[in-house]
Amino acid sequence: MKRWNIVLTGFGTVGREIARLLEQRRDRYRQLYQADVRLVGAARSTCALYDPEGLPREQLEAFAQRRQPDRPGWDATEWLSTVEADVLMEAGPSDVQTGGPGLRYLRQALASGMHAIAVSKGALVVDYAGLSALAKAKGVQLKISGATAAALPTIDLFAYNLAGCEIKQVEGIFTGTANFVLTSVMEEGITSEEAIRRAQQMGIAEPDPAYDIDGWDTAAKIAILANAVFGAKIKLSDIPRASIRDLSPAQMAEWKRAGRMPKLIGTIRRTRAGVEAAVELVAVEATHPFAGVSKTTKAIRVETDVMGELMVVGGKSDPVAAAAAALKDLEHLLSG
Amino acid sequence: MKRWNIVLTGFGTVGREIARLLEQRRDRYRQLYQADVRLVGAARSTCALYDPEGLPREQLEAFAQRRQPDRPGWDATEWLSTVEADVLMEAGPSDVQTGGPGLRYLRQALASGMHAIAVSKGALVVDYAGLSALAKAKGVQLKISGATAAALPTIDLFAYNLAGCEIKQVEGIFTGTANFVLTSVMEEGITSEEAIRRAQQMGIAEPDPAYDIDGWDTAAKIAILANAVFGAKIKLSDIPRASIRDLSPAQMAEWKRAGRMPKLIGTIRRTRAGVEAAVELVAVEATHPFAGVSKTTKAIRVETDVMGELMVVGGKSDPVAAAAAALKDLEHLLSG
């Protein structure tokens, strides 16, 4: 039985679910992959744990509850250099402008020969190409399902389900929160401001909704996909973004009359000039495959050369589903 | 560079597309997988070719055209025992009652240590469990994407995209021909008899449409999925089947009034009694995710424990797409 030591950076809601599922699936990994998978390390923003034999559940629970004083300047870099692990799972806060600590941890882990599974998007948005080249040079793998729409398969489609196909175009509803707001606006006749407030009350939108509402989340996901799948070199700032913040009642009435549904759509297209990506607010016709994708549901549609079109709809958007997507990546490592 | 020798049994429309795509993608395989992939053998129902260095395109074209006298009792068994190959791709006629020659070829190839890629369903319907156990015992792989809805990912979903999830229920529109007939009946107000005739004229339905129209095709696909994914031991004859042959005008008018769409749906459910599979004619409501899946389009919907629901729609149904699905399986072998 091969031993697989995992370390986890980021111990928020998703990180904790990763720890829980790792524990819950230990027998599965033993039976299916003859793999003895142990979470040996976990880091939060102010402190970290490490036990080469594996962290017991009670210790992880206490770690999650621990109130640690802020330690300015502390990060997990030094700790990460002392742990021995086969895989880093990075689930810390996402910083799409600089990559944040997550980018440093991923670089450090790959450079020291660990496989890496990214759950947060920031590092990938900022430097997918660099991380991917580093993984290749070190003969390890960088997996990113958890960071690209999580339970909705996106990167999988290209790397696995459509292996060998030429991808002509990708479009998707990638941000559940934005889709929830648009659905509420159309179905309940409320303003986008009201719909955003309601989504915040339901815990669907963040206190600062800008990231989801102004197209940043969709742009981040298509930046990663364009760079990972199409080999593009697109920066977040290259991607035109639409916002759904200020939809006018007149505009909504017009769409309703025309039987159209507004959708925030991320697209990636191969053009003669290269690869183009954009976040657009599109009022699709009632017969469009995206018209019925409502509330927080996400979808992706891919046009290929020989396998026709493929659309995938669904995939939960909660911390458990995000953790499960990262653990799917882990299984692909275990089976590889 | 590793040499991968492929042999192909069955040289009909799909088999020929496999040969063509293998040739077309040679450079891709070299670059991506450092694999020198060569088609070294091909068998039809009356004759076979073999060249350990690879079959040149001209020779394959002549082979496809060759009019060979019927040779009663001939099959590729003896020929297959003399070829040296790493992978058998089985694309012969499908016999869901006995498994036909395809089942013999797959057993023979696996027993001699080749990986196998099944494109036709018969062998898998009759003995998936046996073939799978044989592959495991020999340390080789049995891949079946091409046989389970081809360009629509089905088996992939469970083995890869949802790895680690518990699958609670599967339902799908698995037979493009049946869906085409049902769509025509509802949209054009013609009888199912007329719609079947029209599908035959368009080359969508076979001269004997029973296999598609009476639910056999759907039943065959869900039998394979139930056995491969749920570890069930379901025989084709265990699966209740619905037919769409005799839809009454009164029934259709009733569905129309109710705003429903008839769909031939294959389902697999986990119950307390075990795994149950059925082919049902269901009149779904207009808001059902399958209502908009029309003409020859196929779809699958999966309910999981932690990743929510997932629906995949699309995937072309022509010989090129079927060949491309089999070659996707090949890439998974090359990368593994």
Q: What ipTM does this complex have?
A: 0.94
Distance CA A181, CA A194 (A): 9
pLDDT of residue A181: 97
Task: Please list the pLDDT of chain B residue by residue as tens digits (336 residues).
Answer: 999 999 999 999 999 999 999 999 999 999 999 999 999 999 998 999 999 999 999 999 999 988 878 788 888 999 999 999 999 999 999 999 999 999 999 999 999 999 999 999 999 999 999 999 999 999 999 999 989 888 899 999 999 999 999 999 999 999 999 999 999 999 998 999 999 999 999 999 999 999 999 999 999 999 999 999 999 999 999 999 999 998 888 889 999 999 999 999 999 999 998 999 999 999 999 989 999 999 999 999 999 999 999 999 998 889 999 999 999 999 999 998
Return the closest-CA partner of residue A91 out of A318, A316, A323, A315. A323
Adjacency order of strands within the sheet including A115-118:
A48-50, A35-43, A2-9, A87-90, A115-118, A142-143
Tell me how far apart the alpha carbons of residues A22 and B70 are, in angstroms, rounded to a whole number.
Answer: 59
List helix spans (H) across B139-215: 155-156, 176-188, 192-201, 210-213
- Shortest alpha-carbon distance between residue A331 and chain B (Å): 7
pTM of the prediction?
0.95
Q: Return the CATH number of B164-313, one of 3.40.50.2000, 3.40.640.10, 3.30.360.10, 3.30.200.20.
A: 3.30.360.10
Chain A residue nearest residue B286, CA to CA = A292
Separation CA B90–CA A255 (nearest Å): 52
Q: Is A161 touching B (CB cutoff 8 A)?
A: yes
Q: Is A156's Cβ below 8 Å from some Cβ in B?
A: yes
**Whether CATH 3.30.420.40 fits A163-313:** no
**Which fold is adopted by the domain B2-151+319-335?**
Rossmann fold (3.40.50)
**Mean predicted lDDT score pLDDT of chain B:** 95
Is any Cβ of chain B less than 8 angstroms from the Cβ of A153? Answer: yes
- pLDDT band, residue A246 (cuts 50/70/90): confident
Q: What is the DSSP pairing of strand B2-9 with strand B87-90?
A: parallel
Question: Distance from B106 to chain A by nearest Cα, in Å?
Answer: 23
Cα-Cα-Cα-Cα dihedral of B291, B294, B297, B299, to 10°?
10
How is chain A split into domains, by residue range? 2-151+319-335, 163-313
Q: What is the pLDDT of residues B159-207, one digit of tens each?
A: 999 999 999 999 999 999 999 999 999 999 899 999 999 999 999 999 9
Measured in angstroms, the CA of B74 and the nearest CA of chain A are apart by 34
**Partner residue opposite A306 with nearest CB, options B152, B312, B320:** B320
Inter-residue contact B6 to B54 (CB < 8 Å): no
Residue with tokens 């939108």: A205
**pLDDT for position A103:** 98
Chain A partners within 8 Å of B310 (Cβ): 151-153, 312-315
B20 touching chain A per CB within 8 A:
no
- Secondary structure letter of residue B146 according to DSSP: G
